[in-house]
Chain A
Amino acid sequence: MTTLISKEEVASLVRPTRLHKRLYLDPDVFELEMERIWGQAWIFIGHESQVPNPGDFFTTNITHKIPVVMVRDKGDSVHVLHNRCGHKGAKLVESRQGNVRGAFRCPYHGWTFRHDGGLLKVPNESGYDSTGFDSSDPCYSMQSVAQVESYRGFVFATLSAEAPDLKTWLGGAIDCLDNLCDRAPEGEVEVAGGVLRYEHQCNWKFILENLNDTMHPMVVHQSVVQAAEDYIATLPESAVEQRSEAEIIPPFGSSYEKFEDSGITGFRYGHHYDGGKTSIHADYKVLPAYHDAMVKAYGEERTREIYAFNTHNTLYYPSLTIKSAVQNIRVVRPIAVDRFVVETWSFRLKGAPDEMLQRTLLYSRLINSSFGMVGPDDHEVYRRAQEGLESNASEWVEFHRQYGRDQVLEDRVIGGGTSDLDMRTQYKAWQEYMTGEVFQ
């Protein structure tokens, strides 16, 4: 794809403490983001547990448009293939998930493909004899995405052959994926309880900026926190004790000091998390049956260590954000400059009692549902920004908080929980991806 925006022009849109409004409004910038960021970074496709049996598949788009299918083959390997027939390009599977049994069969002329994408059979093949058609040429198969790797069941793919291996790319932020899985007594998680899809009518970057924007919860979520706190205060203690809502909602109203203490840690390629020593999830009760299973699996000391690493949101820029301490994830799927979908998936901790999954689902429902009391207020302020930025009062949005105070360590940058370190981290990566220098 050729672009009309020069490298210098793109680079000039991001400054150390401000961003040009074209990042949110300009369809050409969006197309370039799809090509340079979503077309190069490791994008989260799905979790291996979504395709437990040979022939099971799950479909999604790796950019705003490019359709891919994650599929398990008979040898138990999981592939991510372009969802495109090697003949005339028809999408092989259309449903979000299912099982293709023996092979993929194109609905158009009936070409079939193995689970690893290889061309199996072309009907009435003699018509191709001595025509120069070479059925072993990969261009006639369902081609694999350039690189596919999974880490603890989380399957990522990249359209770039130049991207470093997944572990290198994840860097120190890998600790949060480990922590999510380590919270399972069996050390493994699996997708459970379905998915929520939430259409956002604004630019995809707003949600990434919001994840670790700890200056917003006490403002945006004031209403639900007050509604919950005021009403809970009128209830008898015995009625409140058993309710996870009473631990989940109020911490959104935590003070600036509390959020400052949680800290933010940033990494290469735009990844970052807030919390670590503490987070708004740190005071959840530990279910005795769960604790017993953990201690049995890990011993008391390691169990405490796993609990103690308590993060709020981790972003694996640009597509995946996880809550290790809650065991749910949100996946960003961009559609257009002012539209994207967020998928919320929840995980079962293998070896943990059902109540753990139920709490995760309760959290997803309360916080991430489009019909919830938290998500719609977040979405509303993103849309206000999307609409407000059309104004020509200024071309820039600012992010100065604690600029110049970040502590730069060897593989990470750490700073205050209410700083804009998360912004600095992700827009450094944005600039590197967009100018084509990211993997050089």
Chain B
Amino acid sequence: MSNPDLKQIEQFLYREASLLDQPDLDQWMQLFTEDGSYWMPAMEGQSDPLNHISHIYEDRVMMEIRRRNFVHPRSASKEWPVRCSHLLGNIQLQNQTDSGDLVVTCNFHVIVWYREEQRVYAGTCEHHLLAEGDDYRIRHKRVDLINPEAAQRSMVIYL
């Protein structure tokens, strides 16, 4: 795809968000490349996922462990239903990485229903997308909360 189509990219991000809304981690994971990763930094403007703490920094192996854990019948924190509603906005195509992935940023508001409580998360996302035919796969997803340094409550799902 030589001319990235923003409309198509938006559709892809909406599809990803709706898989997390359900949540369907099984299908969601499939959107990632084999070397794909998910990162939620614990600090504003964090540049390093390895030498600084993060809330989440996981590759496909850890995603699969999390998926299995998520549906395991013996996990007390998962006995509560989790449902989310993602709203994405301000979706912008930024540039390309050295390896040619498209860098797309957006704002998000997520309302999460968990443990009889409705919670709001907000921030920005950065996706590195690999164009594959008419479709995309996620090489990297970075989720920056507006309050990464705040004390956070238990959360059992990716945002």
- Chain A: residues with CB nearer than 8 A to chain B? 96, 192-199, 201, 220, 222-224, 226-228, 230-231, 235, 239, 243, 245, 249, 341, 344, 346, 354, 357-358, 361, 364-365, 369-373, 375-377, 379-381, 384
**B contact residues around A370 at 8 Å (CB):** 55, 152-155
Q: How far is it, in angstroms, between the C-alpha of A346 and the C-alpha of B42 when the chains are bound?
A: 13
**B contact residues around A201 at 8 Å (CB):** 153
If the complex has contacts A199-B152, A223-B69, A379-B154, are A369 and B56 also in contact, measured as CB distance less than 8 A? yes
Cβ-defined contact, A227 with B153, below 8 A: no
8 sampled A-B residue pairs with Cβ under 8 A: A194-B52, A197-B150, A226-B74, A231-B61, A341-B151, A365-B53, A370-B153, A373-B65
Verify if B75 is at the interface (C-beta below 8 Å from A). Answer: yes
Cβ-defined contact, A377 with B76, below 8 A: yes
Cβ-defined contact, A371 with B76, below 8 A: no
Q: How far is it, in angstroms, between the C-alpha of A69 and the C-alpha of B46 when the chains are bound?
A: 26
- Chain B: residues with CB nearer than 8 A to chain A? 40, 42-43, 46, 50-57, 61-62, 64-66, 68-69, 72-78, 149-156
The 3 A-B pairs at the shortest CB distance, nearest first, are namely A223-B72, A223-B75, A227-B68
Q: How far is it, in angstroms, between the C-alpha of A140 and the C-alpha of B109 when the chains are bound?
A: 47
**A contact residues around B51 at 8 Å (CB):** 192-193, 354, 357-358, 361
Q: How far is it, in angstroms, between the C-alpha of A249 and the C-alpha of B61 when the chains are bound?
A: 13
Q: How far is it, in angstroms, between the C-alpha of A379 and the C-alpha of B77 when the chains are bound?
A: 8
Looking at the assembled complex, report how far the CB atom of A27 sits from the nearest CB atom of chain B, in whole angstroms: 21
Cβ-defined contact, B65 with A371, below 8 A: no
If the complex has contacts A196-B53, A199-B152, A371-B56, are A231 and B68 also in contact, measured as CB distance less than 8 A? yes
Cβ-defined contact, B53 with A193, below 8 A: yes
Q: Which of A198, A224, A358, A372 contacts B151 (CB 8 A)?
A: A198
Looking at the assembled complex, report how far the CB atom of B61 sits from the nearest CB atom of chain A, in whole angstroms: 7
**A contact residues around B150 at 8 Å (CB):** 197
Cβ-defined contact, B68 with A377, below 8 A: no
Looking at the assembled complex, report how far the CB atom of A116 sits from the nearest CB atom of chain B, in whole angstroms: 29
Quick one: which of B54, B64, B77, B78 has the most chain A CB within 10 A? B77
**B contact residues around A346 at 8 Å (CB):** 53
Quick one: which of A193, A341, A354, A384 has the most chain B CB within 10 A? A193
Question: B46's closest neighbor in chain A, by CB?
Answer: A194
Cβ-defined contact, B155 with A231, below 8 A: no
Question: A195's closest neighbor in chain B, by CB?
Answer: B53
Cβ-defined contact, A365 with B54, below 8 A: yes
Question: B152's closest neighbor in chain A, by CB?
Answer: A370
Cβ-defined contact, B72 with A380, below 8 A: no
Question: B72's closest neighbor in chain A, by CB?
Answer: A223
**B contact residues around A361 at 8 Å (CB):** 50-53
Q: How far is it, in angstroms, between the C-alpha of A384 and the C-alpha of B75 when the chains are bound?
A: 13
**A contact residues around B78 at 8 Å (CB):** 223
Q: How far is it, in angstroms, between the C-alpha of A373 and the C-alpha of B63 when the chains are bound?
A: 11
Cβ-defined contact, A194 with B77, below 8 A: no
Looking at the assembled complex, report how far the CB atom of B6 sits from the nearest CB atom of chain A, in whole angstroms: 30
Q: Which of A96, A194, A377 contacts B53 (CB 8 A)?
A: A194
**A contact residues around B50 at 8 Å (CB):** 358, 361
Cβ-defined contact, B74 with A231, below 8 A: no
**B contact residues around A341 at 8 Å (CB):** 151
Cβ-defined contact, A371 with B155, below 8 A: yes
Cβ-defined contact, A376 with B69, below 8 A: no
Looking at the assembled complex, report how far the CB atom of B39 sits from the nearest CB atom of chain A, in whole angstroms: 11
Cβ-defined contact, A376 with B53, below 8 A: no
Q: Which of B52, B74, B155 contacts A193 (CB 8 A)?
A: B52
**A contact residues around B55 at 8 Å (CB):** 196, 365, 369-371
Q: How far is it, in angstroms, between the C-alpha of A192 and the C-alpha of B50 when the chains are bound?
A: 11
Cβ-defined contact, B74 with A380, below 8 A: no
Q: Which of A220, A227, A354, A377 contacts B65 (CB 8 A)?
A: A227
Cβ-defined contact, B61 with A227, below 8 A: no
Q: How far is it, in angstroms, between the C-alpha of A198 and the C-alpha of B43 when the chains are bound?
A: 14
Looking at the assembled complex, report how far the CB atom of B69 sits from the nearest CB atom of chain A, in whole angstroms: 4
